[in-house]
Chain A
Amino acid sequence: MSDAPSDAVNDSAADTIRIASGQGFWGDDLDAPVRQVEGGPIDYLMLDYLAEVTMSIMQKQRDRDPGAGYARDFIPLMERIFPACVERDIRVVTNAGGVNPEGCAAALVEAGKRAGVAGRARVGRVEGDDILDRLEDLIADGHALTNMETGDPLESVLDRVRSANVYIGAEPIVEALGQGAHVIVTGRSTDTALTYAPMMHAFGWTRDDHDRIATGVVAGHINECGAQSTGGNCLIDWWNAPDMANVGFPIVEASPDGTFVVTKHPGTGGRVTRQTIAEQILYEMGDPSEYITPDVVADFTTIDVEEIGENRVRISGITGGPRTDFLKVSIAYSDGWKATGTLTYAWPDAAQKARAAAKILRQRLDRLGLEFDAVRTELVGWDSTHGQLVGEPPADLPEVQLRVGVRGKDRAAVERFTREIAPLILTGPPSVTGFAGGRPRVQEIMAYWPALLRREVVEPHLSVHVEEV
């Protein structure tokens, strides 16, 4: 391959581009990206691996191993699909880099060599979203990184912060695409940008194309949760959803005018209808007239959703306003320990037995002098999802699972709690079973600290690197 960017097909055609979603979170269907590449024509594959708590998990992994800290699944996946992506000019955009985009890109280059694309592919990476090492300086410079929910300054938990990443926008990805990268690995790029960055690149949109980028944000919101927009976890007529074992992940067919069609590959299961799209649009929605991203503030309320064919839904009418002066920061800090234990109680009077067990468990915890910030009792099979809305359990409930959780700052107390579950089998109410899973595990609580930071102290630190495989 020559040194010229390999995006001639995408750029010169610029009619529509197909951006396929292949991963909605770290742990999603491993084969979905392969099906997206093999199942029909696509131009881009976006893979979203990050959620609020993912960064702190990755940071913990990197603390143990400096080469870790990214979505490891991504590397064997790329080894499988790299040749097909290069041959069909499918470009991959992903936030799999986590807290270590450099390590991820290095592993990706090696995977590319193993896959036989050496000399034919370029790997791009975006760095600079990670501000963990800059926090003290930023605070000293007057950036308090105040918690958006509590109003507290970050300084109050600074010694317990485990990860700190800025949600960055599409521009570095657009730059990497412009430099001919086939695969672009980022850290905490905002989820939606993985979908609208290819549109900005292919159609030449600039940051002032508010309405078009806002439409791209909606497309990104539809793509970012994988099959949740094509029939997965979809309530409406769920019993009629066809062939969910072979569910097709969404594909956005974007047009330069700022409209798009959502579809999926032929022959796949699931479905794309006005209602499956409506459900996904509302997922994790805040104020729909002000959906804030690093690149634009989108207004979802002006949306037009139209079924134009089988498994084809057209979206138009989205409007947007200029980006704000701030970027959102995702900070995770250690905030104590928790554990959850379960036991199963059987008919008759299953719920009454479970509650009696919870009562004596609490009495024992008190007698041991253990103090917790919270102790929570739920009955799985009765009230653990709809709470007091379901009323009192009937005496003939066939079975119920008692679920007791505790959290607190004292790890030893939480550890001791985990040893108080099993004794209930022989020392508490009868008809009890279900302890096969063993003693509950103590987990470190990673609390989330949402904050804002002025973009001008972030953007100069962003960098794009593109290298040959």
Chain B
Amino acid sequence: MSVDVPTGAANAHEANAAGTVPLQLVHLAHARSGDKGDTANVGLIAYDPDHFDLLREQVTAERVKAHFGEMVEGEVERFELPNLGALNFLLHGALDGGGTISLMNDAQGKVFSTALLRMEIDVPADVVETVADRGRVPEGWSVEDYG
């Protein structure tokens, strides 16, 4: 079975036997990250509140830890903010010591946010059809349009 995926959902694949499609989080959520010492936080916010349960079920602390692999030395904690349709993750030991110790370009974890949006989750095919693609610059957009 083939499913129309949102424009720009380049990493979306065909539905599997369970009727779900792997979809990158960038199509379902936006995010912001920051730091506290050697810990990066990532707040993940569903574009559509109806998709929050999908995030809650699948974007678990364990899956996020596995996603980041060697980038996160310590544990991953998860907190829920259902009123914002959001999850908050603490990635411990992600910043090479953090603060002024860190040798990382991203010493303050500012873009762990979009690194999380690379993760794929399994989205029911009928839900994929309802995903308005909001995660990427629209086709035909130019910087002339900005400002």
Using a CB–CB cutoff of 8 Å, the interface residues on chain A facing chain B are 52-53, 149, 233-237, 239, 242-245, 269, 275, 278-289, 300-305, 317, 335, 338, 340, 374, 376, 378, 380, 384-389, 403, 405-407, 443, 445-448, 450
Contact = CB atoms under 8 A, between A and B. Distances in A.
A243 B83 CA distance: 30
A305 B137 CA distance: 26
A407 B101 contact: yes
Contacts of B111: 385-386
A377 to B, nearest CB: 9
A374 B95 CA distance: 13
Interface of B: 30-38, 41, 43, 45, 47, 67-71, 79-86, 88, 90, 96-101, 103-106, 111, 113-115, 118, 134, 137-138, 141, 145-147
**Closest A-B pairs by Cβ, 6 of them:** A282-B43, A405-B103, A284-B34, A384-B105, A376-B103, A279-B32
B146 to A, nearest CB: 6
A282 B41 contact: yes
User: SS class of chain B's interface: helix, strand, loop or mixed?
Assistant: mixed
Contacts of A287: 79
B41 A285 contact: yes
Nearest to A225: B34
Contact of A236 (B80, B82, B99, B134): B134
Given A283-B32, A286-B36, A386-B118, A403 B84 contact: no
B79 A448 contact: no
Contacts of B105: 378, 380, 384-385, 403
Nearest to A449: B37
Contacts of A237: 134
A335 B102 CA distance: 12
Contacts of B118: 386, 389
Contact of B100 (A286, A380, A446): A446
Contacts of A235: 30-32, 113-114
A275 B45 contact: yes
A279 B71 CA distance: 23
A239 B32 CA distance: 16
Nearest to A244: B147
Given A239-B137, A305-B84, A282 B103 contact: no
Nearest to A387: B71
A300 B71 contact: no
Contact of A279 (B45, B90, B138, B145): B45
Contacts of A52: 37, 99
Given A235-B113, A335-B101, A338-B103, A278 B70 contact: no
Given A244-B147, A443-B100, A301 B32 contact: no
